[in-house]
Copies of this chain bind each other. A is one copy, B any other.
């Protein structure tokens, strides 16, 4: 296997390189499997200065693969394909691409030995169709697959790069980070360092963010780009310099200025979730947290327990669906439930206080409500939630109302609770006398 000389593509600046991703497979087009390859490869390239220009998903049919690869190869500097390298009859990527490149497929006995060895280690019998996976391009490199049978393939031809990756994510992902990224970087096809600075915000929409940051846009003009991306519970801003005029230090300075302008709406530089930011603040202040949930049903506790080392700050939580469970687990008086109902500010406050006391925590969040689609009252229709926050210096509640299906409103109530706690912990860490000054904004 001999590599050809450095690709013509390497003469372009990284930002102008045309990367195209071909994801092959009917299971993607039928929505049976999510296209995680786009998310993974896109993020890997994006962090190193390349915005993937195009992702095309097509079926496993040979004609479609040949026609699409011919088009992509003519247009792009780097083509990455995923899937269709397996042993079964609907795995046709190798043959189709060999046809377009005018390459021969040759049998590699070393790959065959590796495949046979893998079957032996797993104690399974190798069927003859597995030998197909030992076919490789006569001019190209073999990328060892540590987690499966089909090797990846790397071809430099026509001044371009072709990367062919197996479909299973646990095979593709380590192959990409360990073998592809270093090869691309060595040829100058990725930036040496991360290409943009990210800010995470919460509590404001995209259009309001754009308005808040307008003065910064005005000052830099086209040298600066701030792209917004709304997610459930937060909006991310990516600060970059499309013209390359602003270096990494200047972008960091712009991001810091954005954070100052945004005040408490600024969550973090980076990708930390609201729960992770709360966790870091709690650990920094050596405080602990408890949860008490009804309608959010464990989703709030789950957000905290997704964090490594949660036991350092998370005492525990309760999911009290029945009134009996509220009385049993949190000592909520029966008369309170009878008088105000389970979906009430009074019960939310009692749940937060009960959780903090029972679990010996400094802070406690409570969520009660009607997630729907059934239930609800005239005063508190489906989508109504009461949140309560117990802090070392007091306890408060707020009422919120969300439209949408059950799973959506659960997520929204949890995000609201997380953001509330985050803001209070930020104030506490700034030494402010926190919640008392904000009572006007709550119900």
The stretch from A3-11, A86-94, A153-161, A385-393 touching chain B is A86-94
For the residues of A in contact with B, the DSSP-based class is mixed
Contact with B along A274-316 (1 / 0, CB 8 A): 0000000000000000110101111111101110111100111
Name the distance in Å between A435's Cβ and chain B's nearest Cβ.
20
* A373: nearest chain-B partner, CB-CB: B308
A147 touches B406 (CB 8 A): no
Q: Does A222 contact B (CB under 8 A)?
A: no
The stretch from A40-48, A99-107, A180-188, A251-259 touching chain B is A40-48
Copy total for this chain: 2
B34 touches A39 (CB 8 A): yes
Chain A interface extent, by class: 35 or more
Name the distance in Å between A250's Cβ and chain B's nearest Cβ.
21
- A39 to B30 CA separation, bound complex (whole angstroms): 7
A positions within 8 Å CB-CB of B: 26-36, 38-46, 51-59, 64, 86-90, 124-125, 127, 129-130, 146-147, 168, 170, 205-208, 210-211, 227-231, 236, 238, 290-291, 293, 295-302, 304-306, 308-311, 314-322, 324-325, 328-329, 358-360, 371-375, 403-408, 410
5 more A-B contacts (CB under 8 A) besides A27-B229, A55-B56?
A: A33-B231, A35-B39, A51-B59, A54-B57, A329-B359
Please list 9 pairs of residues, one from A and one from B, whose beta carbons are closer than 8 Å in the complex, sorted by A's number.
Answer: A29-B46, A129-B207, A129-B210, A298-B305, A298-B317, A302-B302, A302-B410, A305-B319, A311-B375
